[in-house]
A and B are shown apart, each in its own frame.
Chain A
Amino acid sequence: MKLIDYEPIVGRSTLEELRLVASKLAGREVQNINSTFVGGGVAEILNRMVPILQELGVDARWNVIKGSPAFFEVTKKFHNALHGRKESISEEDFDLFLEINRKNMAEMDFHGQIMFIHDPQPCALIEKKDLGGKWIWRCHIDVSNPDERVWRFLERYVVQYDATVFSAPAFSRPLPVRQFLISPSIDPLSDKNKDLSTREIDAAMAGMGIPRDKPIITQVSRFDYMKDPVGVIRAFEMVKKSIDSTLVLVGGGATDDPEGERVLAQVKEAANNNPDIHIISGQPRSDIEINALQRASTVILQKSLKEGFALTVSEALWKAKPVVASAVGGIPLQVRHKLTGLLSHGIDGAAYAIRQLLANPDYARWLGDNGKEHVRHNFLITRHVRDYLLLFIALDHSEDVIHL
């Protein structure tokens, strides 16, 4: 995939601007470090971001830290604790975290003029700051209400960075270092988001056994209390009283998570064998299938109680679908109420919004089209690349208006 492939989507002037900004960083070494090459949103973004930066003339590299299963158990607990969940974390856990970070410090080749450290796992690598260069900590998670013990431990390292980056204003914390706001993005050319032919959509829907004789309301989310799948069913039942429709709940991944199994059981119970409610669980569905399902849907829901950035919303908007979503996490940045979708605050509100959209297809289409434009200008990978380039430039400047 080349940058030029994005031209039909974002326009020539956007790529021209990108090249212009990148020309000020030609040859600059940017070393990205995170904890995995595969799986998860960070790896997914870096997989596209690094080649694009390279094509733009920035010497971008990507390294991952090596860690034991025990280390990743600890960092998973850190992750949950930073999201505000109660976790039992021992002193040994903190020691192991530092031990693995220091082991990586000894083994890793630090060569970047800009060191771009992603998420808490490699956060302590900042101890190598004396090697020189500018150090950035990119926080992809919501740390607005963290477990104070874990946050205080990490904060010692975070404050040593030259800059930090958060995905939404509400995700940040007061810090004595510069904090930049950069939203994540979706790749319009990936299997998840690329255009599909009618034949591909028909085949995927037939494969999943979803009938298309009625309007389809869809929520794509793992089976988690925070995604409120039972609330989705309640809202659907209210809608169905006046508008005959189909509900599809797609939860990715196998249910080896005990909580996921419990939630799925409750969802099935709430569905009460309603033939119009399709629960797709078990084997993870391919990106193309999810893409097709979103494209075949009439309304897409994201009725979460708590969220990170929720890029699934941008994915739905990119397909020009009317979206009903809760006003939590990064969702209000993507769904501007009554402009690019509808925000709701409860089950009644969600049901009311879905009815509005099903009963007014022109309005739904207008919202969907606006939503797609909103994503085109603000949540595609090209905007994300531009923000990173600007961030690298801003590191060398303290003024608010930078003339280059």
Chain B
Amino acid sequence: MNALRVLGLCMSYGPVPVFDGINLAVPDGTLLALLGPSGCGKSTLLQLIAGFQRPSAGEIWAGDECLSGPHVLVPTERRGISMVFQNYAVWPHMTVAENVAFGLKVQRLASSDLRQKLARALEMVRLESLRDRYPAELSGGQQQRVALARALAVEPKILALDEPLSNLDANLREEMRFEIRRVHDLLGITTLYVTHDQSEALVTADRIAVMRAGALMQLGTPKDLFEHPANSFVASFIGNNNVIAGKLEERGRVRVGPSSLIGIDTSGAPTGASVAFCVRPSRVRIDPEPDIPVNVLRGTVLRSAYLGESRDLLIEVDKVARIRAAVPASREFVTGQQVTVHLPVESCLIVNSSET
């Protein structure tokens, strides 16, 4: 059963389309991350699902209830979708408890019921001790936990998180990622999580929808995306990757400049098509033992940067491609040094080019 379905959703600001016919299905109890660079339309999609804006076409369904369609626009407050915002949006004129209880008061619960649900929500995000504080007296992370408790207290059908961690500093962000995942595992509420940070998505989400320029690029588990990117955009967006443009010579073989490279072909593209050849920097090997028959290139070191844990090399090969390689920090390289580069076949992927 899908908790949420989006069918052919279109949105435009004046003549400029934000997206054009998006389809998406979120199974019950899933934590789905909407991942993409800024301006890809992921936040707008969330706004449409929450009902803050009216789509120009398409439908949004929650279970078997139509939330938004050609003749229907259920207002936000009747959608059962709670939201957590990037800027917390904790009401500054109310205490922590008042913030969290607000939604329950709107529901006109009996006071014993209300107290119980309030206590449970505060406990869930571990804010019992701060219940009478005002938001100005809380840290950013605490404010975001208030926002989370407030959204959860009303027991929503769907929880929407719009870049919830972007305003937090790095340490807190890491901590809150696990916090969000923990709460999700506890309650199992279907959750939409908008973020531009791939590591955030990889840690928290069951499934990730990668978006770009208003289009859905790929929907899958974090492992799927990392290991089997659908196209060159996903390949380059998830994790570090060398993405080299080339032409498909035959299945599993790509022509890049004067070289012919071999990899695992997931593109399904016809011979002669533009494809992308991908290999992660950590898999690239420099100056390997001799006698390797394929995917060995000569190159020049353009830049060598010491990163402590490793060394980051930028190598120009065959004057047509630049390849990054992560090598042990102990190995020394100088700019201009001639090296041999080996791209192990089992680590190389051939995918469709997302450039059109």
- Asked if A and B bind, the verdict is no
Interface of B with A (CB < 8 Å)?
none
Interface of A with B (CB < 8 Å)?
none
